[in-house]
Amino acid sequence: MNNFTYQSLVKSLENSATEMQYSQTAYALISVDGDPTAEIGKEEAGEQNIYVRELGLSLAKRGCQVDIFTRREDPNQEEIVQLAPGCRTIRLLAGPTEFISRNNLFEYLPEFVEAWLNFQQRTKRNYALIHTNYWLSGWVGLKLKAKLGLPQIHTYHSIGAVKYRDVQNPPQIASIRHYVEKAILEQTDCVIATTPQEAEDLRQLISQDGRVKIIPCGIDTTHFGSISKETARQQLGIASDEQIILYVGRFDPRKGVETLIRACTYLLHPFKLYLVGGSCEDEIDFREQQHIQNLVKTLGLAEVTVFTGRISQALLPAYYAAGDVCVVPSYYEPFGLVAIEAMAARTPVIASEVGGLQHTVVHGETGLLVPPRNPNALAIAIRNLLADPVLRQSNGNAAYNWVQSRFSTQAVTAQIYELYQSLTLGTFVQEIIQTKKLTPNLERQIQNLLKSKALKPHEIKALEKLIDSFSNGTVQWVNG
């Protein structure tokens, strides 16, 4: 019998572990209504399209094979687009090749399932896992899971029960959507909630059953951290010694801009307040914007307040970098992208202690958390940071590092990849068990091992080698 120890086996196999099995693994991202190559800002193209594209590209950079499945919306669109080595968009035929709004897509989903299965059979591609996005793709995933037994992960992007909570006459599709969203939570292997608030909503409004893991949305940190404060101020015509308080976002009463304006009346030293954002289309937003403009005049802040209007994503990094402090005074905030974007630009954030902001801003390290709707407390926080350039700089640097480590696309992909692996390892070992000739005793031992703990990739590699050795007869099992 060969002499070996489990530890040395693990060590010797660790180096080859990644490329041997997992780099070859193919994953299917499904986003029926969100083509990753669509122009952002186009009808119904937004956060979901970016999410699947960035995730696909980032997984491919790690050596995975990723196919992103979406629906063909135009007869001139190519079926397959190679986004990068290892990452493709596959456009399937389901319904007419034209834009169909999300609320009218449900009837075409069975066609999408058929087209997916045909594609898989035609190309002989084996997928280790499917990751579905939004409830429509979730439904497709449940069908594929039932047929093929693949592990399924789901990201909701939005939840019907939240969206229609205060809507008087929800569309007809709302009840079907709720039913499907419940089935997804209860039947998929894991749901990714992007915020603790979303996880809570899922539990309270959808179901107590099913597994939920919180993995935040990532942002392109290099984009938001691409410009220095000096250059940004030169570009925007802001003097280097001016103290800039920055707000970025919509004019929605819940965003708490009024609290910020009132807080500014308590500040004694000279400052400028930049209000970045604005909307003319949405009635509530527009009314709020007018209300804020009037308030600024009434409170004598017109001279020091700049309303920039809506700024494009391309120009936003300069505003974030130019600010001495970015204030997020919301009364409610599910995630709070602005806080993360500001921190990526090394600007400390003062935010209300509500919703997702409690988890994105680290009090005393990357900025400060203050009670919502409290102009006095907010004014004290702003004063403390504006008065102390050393503290501002150290908070800004810590904010930058914090966002890199937690909210960058790479950091988020690493967490999702780990989740993929934890779900595919079991399947992988079962395959080994089925293909090798094992003694009933050894098979039982392995099954028990699988039940007892979540195995890490290197442990699986060791197990694989061990099974090989047993099958070849180079190692023998000794009872007792």
Judged by CB under 6 A, which of 118, 175, 313, 445 binds ligand UDP? 313
By CB under 6 A, is residue 310 in contact with ligand UDP? Answer: yes
By CB under 6 A, is residue 407 in contact with ligand UDP? Answer: no
B/e letters for 350-371, b = 16+ CB within 10 Å, e = fewer, are bbbebbbbbebbbeeebbbbbe
Q: From the CB of 219, what's the least distance to ligand UDP, in Å?
A: 8
Whether the CB-CB separation of 328 and 249 falls below 8 Å is answered with yes
Q: Which is nearer to ligand UDP, 33 or 341 (CB)?
A: 341
Angle subtended at Cα 288 by Cα 285 and Cα 293, rounded to the nearest 5 degrees: 125
Q: Is 195 strand, coil or helix?
A: coil
Q: Which is nearer to ligand UDP, 276 or 382 (CB)?
A: 276
By CB under 6 A, is residue 159 in contact with ligand UDP? Answer: no
Q: Which is nearer to ligand UDP, 256 or 336 (CB)?
A: 336
Q: Which is nearer to ligand UDP, 129 or 325 (CB)?
A: 325
Q: What are phi and psi of 100, to 5 degrees?
A: -125, 130
By CB under 6 A, is residue 338 in contact with ligand UDP? Answer: yes
Q: From the CB of 194, what's the least distance to ligand UDP, in Å?
A: 11
Give the residue carrying structure tokens 């099954």. Answer: 447
Q: Which is nearer to ligand UDP, 46 or 171 (CB)?
A: 46
Helix axes 389-407, 375-386, angle to 10 degrees: 100
Letters for 4-23 (x = contact with ligand UDP by CB under 6 A, - = none) are --------------------
Cα separation, 470 vs 477, in Å, equals 8
Look up residue 82 and give its two tokens: 């190679």
By CB under 6 A, is residue 176 in contact with ligand UDP? Answer: no
Give the residue carrying structure tokens 């979901």. Answer: 48
Smallest CA-to-CA distance from 454 within 264, 261, 213 is with 213
Q: From the CB of 231, what's the least distance to ligand UDP, in Å?
A: 19
Judged by CB under 6 A, which of 337, 357, 362, 416 binds ligand UDP? 337
Q: From the CB of 224, what's the least distance to ligand UDP, in Å?
A: 8
Segment holding 249, helix H or strand E: none
- Select the span of 18-26, 284-292, 305-313, 408-416 touching ligand UDP (CB under 6 A): 305-313
Beta strand extents in 227-355 (DSSP E only): 244-248, 272-276, 305-309, 325-328, 349-352
By CB under 6 A, is residue 275 in contact with ligand UDP? Answer: no
The residues in 340-399 that bind ligand UDP, with binding defined as CB under 6 A, are: 341
Q: Which is nearer to ligand UDP, 315 or 387 (CB)?
A: 315
Q: Is 262 strand, coil or helix?
A: helix
By CB under 6 A, is residue 277 in contact with ligand UDP? Answer: yes
By CB under 6 A, is residue 54 in contact with ligand UDP? Answer: no
Whether the CB-CB separation of 45 and 39 falls below 8 Å is answered with yes
The residues in 228-267 that bind ligand UDP, with binding defined as CB under 6 A, are: 248-250
Long-range contacts of range 50-53, CB-CB < 8 Å, 24 or more positions apart? 51/133, 51/155, 51/157, 51/217, 52/133, 53/83
- Count Cα atoms within 13 angstroms, Cβ side, for 57: 16
Q: From the CB of 218, what's the least distance to ligand UDP, in Å?
A: 12
Q: From the CB of 249, what's the least distance to ligand UDP, in Å?
A: 5
By CB under 6 A, is residue 316 in contact with ligand UDP? Answer: yes
Query: Which positions lie near ligand UDP, rule CB under 6 A?
Result: 248-250, 276-277, 310-311, 313, 316, 335-338, 341
